[in-house]
Amino acid sequence: MAINWYPGHMATARKAAAESMRKIDLVIEVLDARIPHSSCNPMFEALRRQGQRPALKLLNKADFADPEHTRRWLQHYNSQPDVKALSLCAKRPREVQRISRLCQAMLPGRGTPGRPLRMMILGIPNVGKSTLMNALLKRHVAPVGDEPAITKSQMLHSLGTGMTLMDTPGMLWPGMTQYVSYKLAATHGIGRAAYEDEDVAVHLAGYLVRQYPALLTRRFGLLAANCDSHGLLAAIAQVRGLVKRAGGLDIARAATTLLNEFRSGALGPISLETVEQIAASLA
């Protein structure tokens, strides 16, 4: 099943971001550390390159991601021209406080009232942009919630003297590949109404069985290495006692269980793509 989720406000937001790009100096792009490549909206990169603006790429929700893969992704992005990359958890104020200094270091001539440093936060839905914005400003200016598309329009704020920060709605892009859309759905970057949990969970289960069987065993107490993706969902239904009223294992509830426990971090730190896998798929 192809997932296509591009609500109308996102097309409007894209136009607004294109206009704002001319009036800012630096893009702060928030990525999901579990899927740094798939959460990178190619429209942002195209706009940024067109506008010749440098980027600070923040691999957020690093508390959920596999630290070894995050380290490799940081190396990958830090080797790109005009890009600096940092991983963090936007919910931890101490980690967020490094950002302003880093932005100023990227554009040394800016950051004074006469020559302000103007920054725009871009990212896909639900990746933590507003959480980051609130933490940077040290006050609650933007609503936050664990649902995609909470923020619907741009908001500009000043960050002390000489720095401004613009929050933007999460944006996806039309025509993304099915492989990317499953990963975005698994990490909750796509609205729930656009897919079936079971469909997404089957893809997630297949990856987890291959890459993280020990975490599945620890969480569910089953021998995940012996399962395929459908077998894993059936095994989860079995160990959790999920049965349909009419009898038989409730695979739909097992699918939702797997998705929820992956998203909440209960399974452990997991990354859904590595630098090497992406390089091989693009070769």
What is the binding site for Mg ion (CB under 5 A)? 129-130, 150-151
Helices (H), the chain: 8-21, 42-51, 67-78, 93-96, 98-106, 129-137, 178-186, 197-211, 213-220, 229-239, 251-263, 275-282
Query: By CB under 6 A, is residue 42 in contact with ligand GTP?
Result: no
The percent of the chain in helix, strand and coil, each rounded to the nearest 5, is 45, 15, 40
127 binds, among ligand GTP, Mg ion, none (CB under 5 to 8 A by kind): ligand GTP
**Between 70 and 274, whose beta carbon lies closer to ligand GTP?**
70
Burial environment of residue 70 by CB neighbours within 10 A (0 to 12, 13 to 18, 19 or more): buried
Q: What number of residues does the chain have? A: 283
**Side by side, which strands form the sheet with 155-158?**
83-87, 55-60, 26-32, 117-123, 163-167, 155-158
Closer residue to Mg ion, CB minimum distance, 67 or 93: 93
Residue 36 sits in the site that holds ligand GTP (CB under 6 A): no
Q: Tell me the per-residue interface mask from 122 to 161 with ligand GTP, x by CB under 6 A, - otherwise.
A: -x-xxxxxxx------------xxx-xxxx----------
Cβ-count burial of 279 within 10 angstroms (0-12 exposed, 13-18 middle, 19+ buried)? exposed
* Shortest separation between residue 209's beta carbon and ligand GTP, angstroms: 24
Q: Are the beta carbons of 6 and 173 closer than 8 angstroms?
A: yes
126 binds, among ligand GTP, Mg ion, none (CB under 5 to 8 A by kind): ligand GTP
Contact criterion met (CB below 8 Å) for 27 and 122:
yes
| 39 forms part of the interface with ligand GTP (CB under 6 A) | no
Residues 190-229 that bind ligand GTP (CB under 6 A): none
Choose the one of ligand GTP, Mg ion, none that binds residue 89, judging by a C-beta under 5 to 8 angstroms depending on kind.
ligand GTP
Residue 39 vs 257, nearer CB to ligand GTP: 39
- The dihedral built from the CA positions of residue 86, 90, 92 and 93, taken in this order, carries a sign that is positive
Give the shortest CB-112-to-ligand GTP separation in angstroms.
Answer: 29
Minimum CB distance to ligand GTP smaller for 110 or for 263? 263
Counting contacts by CB under 6 A, is residue 274 touching ligand GTP? Answer: no
127 or 209, CB closer to ligand GTP?
Answer: 127
Select from Mg ion, ligand GTP, none the partner in contact with residue 123, using the beta carbon and a kind-dependent cut-off of 5 to 8 Å.
ligand GTP
Which DSSP symbol is given to 224? G
Interface stretch with ligand GTP, choices 17-25, 120-128, 156-164, 226-234 (CB under 6 A): 120-128
Give 113: exposed, middle or buried? Use CB within 10 Å, 0-12, 13-18, 19+.
Answer: exposed
Q: Which does 271 bind (CB under 5 to 8 A by kind): ligand GTP, Mg ion, none?
A: none
Nearer to Mg ion among residue 14 and residue 129 (C-beta): 129
Terminal-residue alpha carbon distance, the chain? 25
Decide whether 67 or 221 has the Cβ nearer to ligand GTP: 67
Q: What's the CA angle centered on 106, arms 101 and 109, to 5 degrees? A: 95
Contact set with ligand GTP (CB under 6 A): 60-61, 63-64, 89-91, 123, 125-131, 144-146, 148-151, 169-170
